[in-house]
Amino acid sequence: MTRAKKIIPFFYGIAGAFVAALAFAENGGHEEKNTFLGDWLPRIINFAILAAALVYFARKPIRDFFASRTAAIAKSMEESKEARERALTALADMERKVRDVGAETDRLIEETRARGERDKQSLVDEGKKVAQDIQAQVKQGVDIEVQKARTALAVEASLLSLELAEGRVKKTISDQDHERIVKEYIAKVGGKG
């Protein structure tokens, strides 16, 4: 402990004694003649003894109290400094996280937009492919139906041609020609057998 810290309680004691002496110096409104030796000296001596005893016995507890109070204040200031540093670190961390969240949000929005464009293009391409497949199936179905129609027309044309030929043959072949053809046929069939 420094010398000034040792002297400070002593000065507090003297200042207290002086204030007490001034308080006792009031005469209370009556006119008594007070002499220094008769009235003041015993009071000052009593006060000095009381102050000396108080300083002697209370010096260590008062010093310990102020020392512990100073230490508690210093510790509290250190803790508040540490708390302030932690708060500033936490604030900086939160600001960084807010910036990171903003950047992450922008990145997710852009990624979602790009994915949407890819999905849109994929759907358009798939739709075109499906349309082409449907067109190919329709064309194939039409080609099959056209082929069936051609076949049916060819059969119909063949039947009509046969009927027409049969009708002409019937008109142009006489009964004698008919008998001759039958005989030739039988001869050929009979000759082979």
For 97-117, give one letter per residue: b (16+ CB within 10 A) or e.
eeeeeeeeeeeeeeeeeeeee
**What's the CA gap between 144 and 132, in Å, rounded?**
18
Q: pLDDT: is 100 or 20 the higher one?
A: 100
Residue 29's pLDDT band (cuts 50, 70, 90): very low
Cβ neighbours of residue 100 closer than 8 Å, sequence gap 6 or more: none
> Among 15-24, 55-64, 123-132, where is mean pLDDT lowest?
15-24
H helices of the chain, in order, are: 3-25, 41-172, 175-192
Under a CB-based contact definition with an 8 Å cutoff, are residues 17 and 48 in contact?
yes
* 25, pLDDT greater than 90: no
171 versus 121: the higher-pLDDT residue is 121
Please state the domain extents for the chain: 3-101, 152-192
Say if residues 55 and 9 touch (Cβ distance below 8 Å): yes
Burial 72-81 (b: 16+ CB within 10 A, else e): eeeeeeeeee
What is this structure's pTM?
Answer: 0.34
